[in-house]
Amino acid sequence: MFDWERVLKTITSLYGISGEELSVANWIQKEISPFVQKTYINTLGSLVAIKEGVGKIKGKLMISTHIDEIGFVVGAILDGGFLKVEPRGGVDPKILQAQECLVRSINGEMLPSVFSTVPPHLIKPEERNKVASYDTLILDTGLSEEDVKKRIRIGSPIVFKAPFISLLNNRFSSKTLDDRACATISIATIKELTKIYHEWDIYFVFSTQEEVGLKGAGTSAWEINPDVAIAMDVGFASQEGYVGLSLGEGPGLAVGPNFTPKIVKDIRDVAKNESIPLPIEPSARPGGTDAGAIQVSRGGVPTALISIPIKYMHTPIELLDLKDCKYTVRILTEYIKNLDTEYLEGLKWS
Is residue 36 domain-resident? yes
Whether the per-residue pLDDT at 119 is higher than 70: the answer is no
> Could you tell me if 302 and 208 lie in one domain?
yes
Residues in the chain: 350
* Average pLDDT value for the chain: 93
Look up the domain containing 196 and give its range: 4-69+175-347
Whether the per-residue pLDDT at 16 is higher than 80: the answer is yes
Closest CA to 159 of 111, 94, 93, 212: 111
Last residue of a domain, one of 111, 137, 160: 160
pLDDT single digits (tens) 48-69: 999 999 988 899 999 999 999 9
B/e letters for 48-84, b = 16+ CB within 10 Å, e = fewer, are bbbbebebeebbbbbbbbbbbbbbbbbeebeeebbbb
According to the model, what pLDDT value does residue 127 have? 64
Last residue of a domain, one of 126, 160, 194: 160
Residues 286-309, mean pLDDT to the nearest whole number:
92
pLDDT single digits (tens) 75-111: 999 999 999 999 999 999 999 989 999 999 999 999 9
Is residue 167 domain-resident? no
Q: How far is CA 139 from the centre of its chain?
A: 26
pLDDT single digits (tens) 302-321: 999 999 999 999 999 999 99
Which residue is catalytic, options 210, 223, 281, 318? 210
> Could you tell me if 276 and 296 lie in one domain?
yes
Last residue of a domain, one of 95, 125, 160: 160
> Could you tell me if 240 and 100 lie in one domain?
no
- Please say if 210 is a catalytic residue: yes
Whether the per-residue pLDDT at 123 is higher than 70: the answer is no
B/e letters for 105-118, b = 16+ CB within 10 Å, e = fewer, are beeeeebebbbbee
